[in-house]
Amino acid sequence: MPSPPLVIGTHNAKKGAELADALAPHGVRVQTLADLPDAIEVVEDGQTFADNARLKAVQQARRLGQWVLADDSGIQVDALKGEPGVYSARFAGPDCDDEANNRLLLEKLSGLPPQKRGAQYYCHVTLADPAGEIRGEATGVCRGVIVDPPRGANGFGYDPLFEIRELHRTFGELGPAVKKAISHRSRAMRAILPVVVRELRG
């Protein structure tokens, strides 16, 4: 008997592709919200990444009557006491784009030496069953440093600014295979993967 499909709780095509790629080898069929016209827009008004991931997973699962895996992720900059955090996607305002967010972040860090530009990408993932009950959660973190000017055209969000110290490359310069191995989202996915496979495949 085939396992039920898993809905990835995002409209972000690149993010959905990253998550679907991690699940494909395990025979888990994946859909995104773009495939489901009945999906709702969840208000992400939580105070933490975990709050928002839970809101998205639980509310979509209840709405759709399907298994939903939702994540909330962003960047936390040490010198800004963890900002932009849950506001990463709208750091420069509700209708801003990646370029505006990156520009504001660099403005706020202007003049700081490299050793004070530490940051981390953080991801929290939540799995909810079709009744909206939380069945698993995991987190992933990737440490780096914010560089200026931006480098690389790969990825999205703050990737051109986020350098992995050991590699001397930003996420924007890394190929998808390397990013997949070390990213916060991939680490969170690897942590929750056994739960997803167990719950959906029985």
Q: Which residues are catalytic?
A: 72
**Helix orientation angle between 13-23 and 184-201, rounded to the nearest 10 degrees:** 50
Binding residues: 10-15, 72-73, 156-159, 179, 184-185
- Going by the annotation, the residues of the binding site for Mg(2+) are 72
Q: Report the 10 Å Cβ neighbour count for 1.
A: 5
Binding residues for substrate, by number, are 10-15, 73, 156-159, 179, 184-185
Contact 71, 53 (CB under 8 A): yes
What DSSP letter does each residue of 19-82 carry, written as one string?
HHHHHGGGT--EEEGGG-TT--------SSHHHHHHHHHHHHHHHHTSEEEEEEEEEEEGGGTT
| Distance from C-alpha of 52 to C-alpha of 44, rounded to nearest angstrom | 5
